Amino acid sequence: MTSTKQPMVVLLHGVGLDRTMWKPLREQLGRESVALDLPGHGLRPPLRSEQSLASLASDVLERIESREPVHLVGFSLGALVAQHLARFAPERVLTLSAVNSVCQRTSEESAAVEERLATAGTNFSQGVDRAIERWFPASSTTVDPEFIEATRQTMAGNDLESYLHAYAVFARGDREIAGELGAIKQPTLAITGELDPGSTPQMSHRLVAAVPQGRLRIIPGARHMLPVENPRALAAELNSFFSDNEGKQA
């Protein structure tokens, strides 16, 4: 007899953040979900050596408790980790959702992120302020100021060495997974904000073009922090995508 229980949703956050960023989305999903801290973030031990997309993904895989395939949702760095898991642990992943994901950066885009990496450790507090300004511009009124401040505090509380190791994976992980995207067989949703300057709509187009079963969604007016800026729209797209692909696994 086929189980009627919905698959678990597993959520992976972005660099410098932690599992708490998913609270607004989880309230909208209406499904059983678990948000995991990436290595070196939140309650996880600090990182004291160079990392790769493979090492981060291996750590996460050990902590996905569901033995049944899950709906895997990654944001930013978490989206790269999720892509690696879908490719190399396919039996554990029912669907892949890449939220505000980078993909196949151009030489100019790679140079820009490498420059940010090179300066990230010199004035970390200033970098936090700049990130908050990019994610939540003063003109935006859609996010609770208390949540913005909580995000700032999460960023400011990072262990610097851990952050730098993780940011290096974010800066270079798209190159690590680029040649493997065509072997990702799960249905894949690439979704980002229309106004995201870093994980651009063009990058989501590239991801959908690279995987065999891709679906593209661009949320009008949204920037990089889509899961907190417009959790209702993201939840609606995710739930539609999940429902369309449940019951299809072999």
Residues 6 or more apart in contact with residue 31 via CB below 8 angstroms: 6, 9, 239, 242
Residue 1 covered by a domain: no
Q: Which tens digits make up the pLDDT trace of 3-40?
A: 568 999 999 999 999 999 999 999 999 999 999 999 99
Domain that residue 92 falls in: 9-245
Q: Which tens digits make up the pLDDT trace of 73-87?
A: 999 999 999 999 999
The pTM score is 0.96
Per-residue tokens: 229: 């800026």
Residue 172 covered by a domain: yes
CATH number for the domain spanning 184: value is 3.40.50.1820
Q: Is the pLDDT of residue 52 over 80?
A: yes
Sign of CA dihedral 28, 32, 37, 42: positive
Cα separations in angstroms, 191 against 149, 216, 224, 238: 25, 6, 11, 9
Q: Is the pLDDT of residue 193 over 70?
A: yes
Residue 159 covered by a domain: yes
For the chain, the domain total comes to 1
